[in-house]
Structure 1
Amino acid sequence: MIFWDRTSYIVQLLVSCLLFMAPVEKRKNYVARVAAASVVLIGAFWIINGSIGIPTEGIARLIYWITYLIVSVGFVLFGIRCSFGEAVYCMICASATQHVASDLYLIYRVTGGKSAVAAVVIYALVYTLFYFAFAKRLPQNRKYVVSRHDLIPMATIILFVGILSVYEYPELDSGVKNLHDVIYEISDALCCIYVLWVQVSQSAKARLQKELDGVSLAYKIQRAQYQVNQENIDIINRKCHDLKHQIRRLRKTENLQEKNDYFDELEDAIMIYDMALNTGNKALDTVLMENGLYCKNHDIQWTCMADGTKLGFMKDEDIYALFGNAFDNAITAVMQVSDNSKRVISSKMLTQDKVMVIQIQNYFVGNIRYEDGLPVTTKEEKEEHGFGMKSIRYTAEKYNGTITVNANNGIFVLQILLPLP
């Protein structure tokens, strides 16, 4: 019993943290990590609470309880792959869940209940319910999507509730003694539930907005694809028209040298269709062939090294969106370069340690301005073309990937990292 008195709160908080860590991406050796961290933290608080006790008043008491929250953030960071802000978010959700369970148990106490088994049942029921109601529904693609606008008010509310709880009950086992205390515990629980419910609602709204953005993006890509296909058809029609006239000229000429010259022209004209690729992925083959054809017809040197056999985990439309937008940006940039020797686009795709690395390089002129870590479009119709880089990032993040951009000495480099399943 003494051991539980000294460690009950840290155990409750760690278990609550585990609820919200369960649905997200975990670090390697997750079970061993959280088990070791739990033993260390429980042992540490058992020793601390046994040697110096729990402060009963003043700022020391507040610092004491805040320490629990700080170590919980470290516990989350140690167990799952997340940023510091995401770890704080996870801890806040866990703290709110623990508060609700504690409030219900204290309300049970005012009715005269004293059973330790009842306490276990209450916590188990609350934790199970909150796992399915909140913990499973908050992450998106196994990650917590956290913004400063959400985190600050959420943290402020939970911290305020926690401070009130600390000073309302100076002893852990003092219980609820009157109607005022019952009302306070109900208000505290409802406040925590409200905070979590708002997060679930915002998460659902954000998920729906992403889907709507995806639909809008797909429409824009289809429209852009139609324009590209139409241009390719026009190119083919012109080439066919030229070939028809060259064949007629061949029939009429008897000069051997002139015939050889015509054959050279024909070979050069036919080479434009020699863009057939076999990367192992049809969607990738399509987008590479279309962009390669465009580059060849616009005097752009284009090199490509790609293995598409491991792209099976991506949808065809996502492959087209990712590579299509990346090449569109590169082509737009090199078209503005006047030096023909620098009208070059280089692309490669390889796998390193279960991570697919996609890198596209091109020359550019002028200065690049950034917003939110992405270069701002240089096209005049920003409302029509500004979705390119955002689409690339959106598609990469959909598969838990990241993108980085770098521009130095007139060379722009886009790198996309996609973890393989």
Structure 2
Amino acid sequence: MISLVSLITYDIFTLLRFKKLFQLKRDHWIYFIIAIAINAIITAAAYILLDSRFAVYMVFVSFMISFRLLFSGTTTQTLYAGSIYLFSLYSSRGIVFSIYSIALHTSIKNVLQQHDDIISVLAVLLSIFYFLMIRDVIVPRQKARYLMNNQGQLKFVVIYLFFQWLFLTLINDGRYYDDVRQNWYSTLYMGSCIISNLWLLVILNHASRISELFEYELFTHQLQEQLSRQMRHYQSYRKFTESYRAFRHDYEKLMGSLKTLMRRQEYKKAIKLLDDIHDTMQRSVQIHKDYSDNIVLDAILQDAADVCEEKNIRFQAHAHLPESASMTELEIVRVFSNIINNAIEACNKVSEFERFIEVTSNSTQDWTIIEVTNSFNGELLIANGEPKTTKKDKDYHGFGLQIIRETIEGMGGLVFIEPDSEKGIFKIKSCIPINPRSKANETV
């Protein structure tokens, strides 16, 4: 009974920890109870009906079932959750009963028969301490999120956990051989568990650092792209102002000539001169169209309009983003550059006469809603309720929607994704909260 309570405690701690790392699929407390019950029942039944060497595999499977019930995650993330859960508990248990065996000068087999409940409690406490050390010292929450999103590095961690788990299960088999020197075996088992855990800390630190650097590389690339957009936006506006100055210089002379013709009542010549002025204006003054009242968003949309013109994509946009919206310039870049890039990529996969991108917005007292609608070919890869990239290099693509969701939801906003495969229309709504302080300042 004590062992079962310890397991339930460990399940609660682990699931609450994962709640901070993964997107919830079901948030109601009843599902957490069901998930814990599934793992506890399967684990208890496995250890009652099966040999302990095979029961651990059932524990691994049952926890992954519980994880998939609660969280939206990839296959790699699910394997990581199951393997880190089992490895931590299994290795902690190995350390505890090895110490008991050495201290009491008896075999591990005897220790498990006489002190199993105490060992279970201590193993759970050691596992919780290990998780806390990972979270607070080795891989803080933000780094852990980077690692969970980097499928390549996460696969590396999962492979390590799997092989270390197999290694420890092979060493665990030694307790069934009576001819093995027990003191030597207990020391070997304890040393193997400690070294495996230390190496896991090293690997987690290394993988999380690589994932963080990769995230910074993506972020830097986005900033470089935005700088290029800003420069193109500036050049476009500069050409507009220069052409307008030149036209205005000629305009003053032309208006003088027009006044003279009107005084002489030479109306036909005056009308012809007006037509010439209009043609000159259309020909010489560069058109600079504003797509947003926010200069950063306007630069993104201006650049998108140029790309759409090259790719024969019908582009229409007007996005109002007030200063009171809870978005920094960097957040605007991360969200809307990804949305627009995804829309252009989707339009490239349909015929030219079907291609379109439309950006609209509306505001309420508390929210600004920017909606981007685009055509797509109706083919959508869905995983855990989220559209996924169809590119071959999935380790380095497919971050767009994830970045959009994390950025918007991180500021207290909402993201709604509405694909219509039958009509071939993909719609994404970004609901951005209005900053109460900014709103108060505007009122004043």
Match of 1:160 in 2: 166
CA distance in 1, matches of 2:59, 2:227: 52
Q: Per residue, is there more helix in 1 or in 2?
A: 2
Match of 2:271 in 1: 257
Match of 2:40 in 1: 42
Match of 2:290 in 1: 275
1:241 to 246, 252, 257: 246
CA distance in 2, matches of 1:209, 1:26: 25
Which residue identity lines up with residue 160 of structure 2 in the other structure? M
CA distance in 2, matches of 1:220, 1:372: 21
CA distance in 1, matches of 2:158, 2:402: 25
Residues 367-404 of structure 1, C-alpha deviation per residue, up to 9 Å, x if partnerless? xxxx963599xxxxxxxxxx9x8885685365279999
Note the C-alpha offset of 1:311.
Answer: 9.3
Note the C-alpha offset of 1:229.
Answer: 1.7
Match of 1:55 in 2: 50
Structure 1 residues 161 and 12 mapped into 2: Cα distance closer, same or farther (>3 Å)?
farther
Which residue identity lines up with residue 179 of structure 1 in the other structure? W
Equivalent position SS for 2:72: coil
Note the C-alpha offset of 1:233.
Answer: 1.1
Aligned 1:329-344 pairs, distance under 5 A: none
CA distance in 2, matches of 1:179, 1:283: 67
2:20 to 23, 36, 46: 23
- 2:337 is the counterpart of 1:346: no
Match of 1:373 in 2: 390
8 Å Cα contact 2:361-2:368 kept in structure 1:
no
Q: Name whichever of 287-296 and 219-228 sits farther off.
A: 287-296
- 2:58 is the counterpart of 1:67: yes
* TM-score with structure 1 setting the length: 0.68
Note the C-alpha offset of 1:226.
Answer: 1.3
Match of 1:379 in 2: none
8 Å Cα contact 1:23-1:139 kept in structure 2:
no
Note the C-alpha offset of 1:132.
Answer: 3.5
8 Å Cα contact 1:349-1:356 kept in structure 2:
yes
Equivalent position SS for 2:144: coil
CA distance in 1, matches of 2:8, 2:343: 54
8 Å Cα contact 1:318-1:395 kept in structure 2:
no
Structure 1 residues 136 and 27 mapped into 2: Cα distance closer, same or farther (>3 Å)?
farther
Structure 1 residues 321 and 266 mapped into 2: Cα distance closer, same or farther (>3 Å)?
farther
CA distance in 1, matches of 2:376, 2:281: 30
CA distance in 1, matches of 2:371, 2:146: 21
Note the C-alpha offset of 1:129.
Answer: 3.8
Note the C-alpha offset of 1:103.
Answer: 1.9
Q: Name whichever of 268-277 and 234-243 sits farther off.
A: 268-277
8 Å Cα contact 1:77-1:87 kept in structure 2:
yes
2:219 to 191, 214, 219: 214
Percent identical pairs in the alignment equals 10
CA distance in 1, matches of 2:36, 2:355: 58
Structure 1 residues 304 and 249 mapped into 2: Cα distance closer, same or farther (>3 Å)?
same
Note the C-alpha offset of 1:218.
Answer: 1.5
Equivalent position SS for 2:359: strand
CA distance in 1, matches of 2:299, 2:243: 21
Note the C-alpha offset of 1:127.
Answer: 1.0
8 Å Cα contact 1:10-1:42 kept in structure 2:
yes
- 2:231 is the counterpart of 1:231: no
8 Å Cα contact 1:287-1:324 kept in structure 2:
yes
8 Å Cα contact 1:275-1:293 kept in structure 2:
no
- 2:74 is the counterpart of 1:83: yes
Note the C-alpha offset of 1:98.
Answer: 0.8
Structure 1 residues 348 and 235 mapped into 2: Cα distance closer, same or farther (>3 Å)?
same
CA distance in 1, matches of 2:255, 2:375: 41
Note the C-alpha offset of 1:40.
Answer: 4.2
- 2:191 is the counterpart of 1:186: yes
Residues 247-275 of structure 1, C-alpha deviation per residue, up to 9 Å, x if partnerless? 42232132342354357558868894573
Structure 1 residues 274 and 211 mapped into 2: Cα distance closer, same or farther (>3 Å)?
closer
Structure 1 residues 417 and 131 mapped into 2: Cα distance closer, same or farther (>3 Å)?
farther
Which residue identity lines up with residue 14 of structure 1 in the other structure? D
Match of 1:103 in 2: 94
Which residue identity lines up with residue 399 of structure 1 in the other structure? T
Which residue identity lines up with residue 124 of structure 1 in the other structure? L
Note the C-alpha offset of 1:245.
Answer: 1.9
8 Å Cα contact 2:247-2:281 kept in structure 1:
no
What runs of 5+ residues in structure 1 fail to find an aligned partner?
Answer: 365-370, 377-386
CA distance in 2, matches of 1:273, 1:191: 63
Which residue identity lines up with residue 258 of structure 1 in the other structure? K
Equivalent position SS for 1:347: strand
Which residue identity lines up with residue 347 of structure 1 in the other structure? V
Note the C-alpha offset of 1:23.
Answer: 2.5
Note the C-alpha offset of 1:327.
Answer: 5.6
Match of 1:127 in 2: 128
Equivalent position SS for 1:53: helix
What runs of 5+ residues in structure 2 fail to find an aligned partner?
Answer: 105-110, 262-266, 378-387, 410-414, 434-444
Match of 2:437 in 1: none
Aligned 1:126-145 pairs, distance under 5 A: 126-134=127-135, 136-137=140-141, 139-140=144-145, 143-145=148-150
Q: Name whichever of 182-191 and 114-123 sits farther off.
A: 114-123
CA distance in 1, matches of 2:290, 2:228: 23
* TM-score with structure 2 setting the length: 0.65
Residues 40-80 of structure 1, C-alpha deviation per residue, up to 9 Å, x if partnerless? 4424554x36xx93434xxxx54432111101001112222
- 2:360 is the counterpart of 1:359: no
